Chain A
Amino acid sequence: MTTAIDGGRPGARSMLTLVGCEAKMVVRDTAGLVVPIGLPLLILLTSASGAGDDVIVNGRTALDLYVLPLLLAMVMGAIGIINMPSFLAYYRRSGILRRLGVTPASPLMVLFAQAVVSLVQAAVGIALALFVAVVFFDARPPVDVGAALGVLALAMAAMYGTGMIVAALAPTPNSAVAIGLVGFLGIGAIGGMFGGREALPPALAEVGGWLPVGATVDALGAAWAGTAVDAPPLIGLAAAILVGTVTAVAFFRWE
């Protein structure tokens, strides 16, 4: 028997295998796909028909400037704020992380694989919502595509950041799921998810505009209209990323 011990870390092929396994888990858990992919389509079907009639600016209608940004914010929010903490809760509660802890795999590999799979999920959800909106409701693409893509990336990171706050501060794995859901609905409600923010009390509407859902809607709406994206929503999204990262580093525990 040789005595040299190679401290090999699992490589790219292992990472791919893990991503494949995570993807299979997600696909086989069909209930988990309903919120990020099914719900936005449902809202699109119920609210798109009236919103596509009147042009507001640059040939874009309320559908383009408001409904679509909101749908995309919802897809990303559901994945980042609800699904991500639930996934981490499941891994912690089930002891899968403990089992992986005695293999060369690291928890960061698991987190990375999950992030890849959920990004694909978000991309599918966004592509599907856009496809349906364009084909069936005459929605138009953003005037400033580059800005839209940039805002999408920033928004997705902000949603993950918010999800990490939930995962880090939830006292038990089960409560992470509940807090994620309530958090998503709360941030969504004051972000315009159940009707325009202008109907909210001014202070609440102001706060909602800084939080990830409202900020995403505002920034994406600007990109769609081709107008300059204001600083406040971008600052709000960046703050969510920063606070999420700091909270996760300080408080998140794998076990």
Chain B
Amino acid sequence: MTEDEPAIFAEGLAKSYRGKVAVADVSLRVERGETFGILGTNGAGKTTTVEMLAGLRKPDHGTVRILGLDPRGDRRRVRQVLGVQLQHAHLHNALRVKELIGLYRSFYRSPRSTAELLEMVDLREQAGIVFEKLSGGQQQRLSIALALAGRPRVVILDELTTGLDPKARRRMWAMVERLQQEGVSILLVSHAMEEVERLCDRVALIDGGRVIALGTPRGIVAGAGEETLDDAFVALTGREPEDIG
């Protein structure tokens, strides 16, 4: 049964590539209905962590559970309830927006309607355009729509608003808030402090492949004795905000 299982549970995750440690030790727990942020610099281990949580990579050590299910061992069930937006959108170049949405909808038992998905990411006017003719921001929004196509209960969003203009960014935030109202559990990987402070209930700060701080955005700021999440990040990691990515 999955009644009391957290949305995402990870314990002692570790992953090395050819002897180089990407993730040393990451444990986290995303409760149902919670929005949980992961912050970290480039090379901190965020992407590898996300890939292990999504079941794309097998951890060297540690355990992952999505609603109590093993994303690799119980792939079929996990894929119906977990939506994942990967950092770089890789889709069929020659297919139109509505065709791609139709394709991804077809994978799921009770998908959202095409009209609803187009509306959620503001791509109604681009429905007939082929993927390779979309702007970078539009491609990213489409990628987000596809992650939501199956009406997932748990969503992993990797760099949700990176590369989006301010208007599109606010639109995506409104979309996340709508998911929150629907009770969807969300893991948000980000380097935008403002975004994390606004949307996330709790945040894990990852550095050097480890979780170095975990708590509410406000709690992390207070714990570091700083005024803003930006300053707290610098104080905790010793890195300038420019390094963040």
Q: Which residues of A contact B92 (CB under 8 A)?
A: 21, 25, 96
Q: Is the pair B1, A102 in contact by a Cβ cutoff of 8 Å?
A: no
Interchain CB contact (< 8 A) of A7 among B56, B76, B107: B76
A5 to B88, CA, bound (A): 29
Closest CB in chain A relative to B51 CB, distance in Å: 9
B81 within 8 Å of A by Cβ?
yes
Q: Is the pair B99, A10 in contact by a Cβ cutoff of 8 Å?
A: no
Interchain CB contact (< 8 A) of B103 among A5, A6, A18: A18
Contacts of B40-82 to chain A: CB distance below 8 A: 54-56, 67, 69, 74, 76-77, 79-82
If A18-B106, A25-B94 touch, whether A6 touches B99 (CB-CB below 8 Å) is: no
A13 within 8 Å of B by Cβ?
yes
B84 within 8 Å of A by Cβ?
yes
Q: Is the pair A24, B76 in contact by a Cβ cutoff of 8 Å?
A: no
Q: Is the pair A5, B107 in contact by a Cβ cutoff of 8 Å?
A: no
Contacts of A72-105 to chain B: CB distance below 8 A: 94-96, 98-99, 101-105
Q: Is the pair A103, B56 in contact by a Cβ cutoff of 8 Å?
A: no
Closest CB in chain A relative to B98 CB, distance in Å: 11
Q: Is the pair B90, A10 in contact by a Cβ cutoff of 8 Å?
A: no
Q: Is the pair B86, A5 in contact by a Cβ cutoff of 8 Å?
A: no
A57 to B81, CA, bound (A): 65
A3 within 8 Å of B by Cβ?
yes
Q: Which residues of A contact B104 (CB under 8 A)?
A: 103
Q: Which residues of B contact A9 (CB under 8 A)?
A: 76
Q: Is the pair B95, A6 in contact by a Cβ cutoff of 8 Å?
A: no
Closest CB in chain B relative to A16 CB, distance in Å: 8
Closest A-chain residue to B84, C-beta based?
A: A102
Q: What 1/0 mask marks residues of chain A from 1 to 43 whose CB sits below 8 Å from any chain B CB?
A: 1010111111001100110010011001100000000000000
Q: Which residues of B contact A103 (CB under 8 A)?
A: 79, 104, 107-108, 150
Q: Is the pair B109, A6 in contact by a Cβ cutoff of 8 Å?
A: yes
B125 within 8 Å of A by Cβ?
no
B191 within 8 Å of A by Cβ?
no
Q: Which residues of B contact A7 (CB under 8 A)?
A: 74, 76-77, 80
Q: Is the pair A105, B107 in contact by a Cβ cutoff of 8 Å?
A: yes
Closest B-chain residue to A8, C-beta based?
A: B109
Most buried by B among A7, A10, A29: A7
Q: Which residues of A contact B80 (CB under 8 A)?
A: 5-8, 104
B102 within 8 Å of A by Cβ?
yes
If A17-B102, A96-B91, A98-B56 touch, whether A104 touches B153 (CB-CB below 8 Å) is: no
Q: Which residues of A contact B163 (CB under 8 A)?
A: none
Interchain CB contact (< 8 A) of A5 among B56, B69, B99, B106: B69
B3 within 8 Å of A by Cβ?
yes
B135 within 8 Å of A by Cβ?
no
Q: Is the pair B94, A95 in contact by a Cβ cutoff of 8 Å?
A: no
If A17-B102, A24-B94 touch, whether A5 touches B2 (CB-CB below 8 Å) is: yes
Q: Is the pair B81, A28 in contact by a Cβ cutoff of 8 Å?
A: no
Closest CB in chain B relative to A22 CB, distance in Å: 9
Closest CB in chain A relative to B184 CB, distance in Å: 10
Closest B-chain residue to A22, C-beta based?
A: B92
A213 to B3, CA, bound (A): 59
A14 to B1, CA, bound (A): 28
Interchain CB contact (< 8 A) of A21 among B3, B54, B95: B95
A94 to B76, CA, bound (A): 24
Q: Is the pair B67, A5 in contact by a Cβ cutoff of 8 Å?
A: yes
Q: Is the pair B90, A98 in contact by a Cβ cutoff of 8 Å?
A: yes
Interchain CB contact (< 8 A) of B86 among A3, A21, A99: A99
B225 within 8 Å of A by Cβ?
no
Contact residues of B with A, CB < 8 Å?
1-3, 54-56, 67, 69, 74, 76-77, 79-82, 84, 86, 88-95, 99, 102-104, 106-109, 130, 146, 150, 153, 183
A-B pairs, top 8 by smallest CB distance, nearest first, are A95-B90, A7-B77, A14-B106, A102-B84, A7-B76, A104-B79, A17-B106, A28-B94
Q: List 16 A-B contacts (CB under 8 A).
A: A1-B183, A6-B109, A8-B109, A10-B108, A14-B106, A14-B107, A17-B102, A18-B106, A25-B94, A94-B90, A95-B86, A96-B90, A96-B92, A98-B56, A104-B79, A104-B108
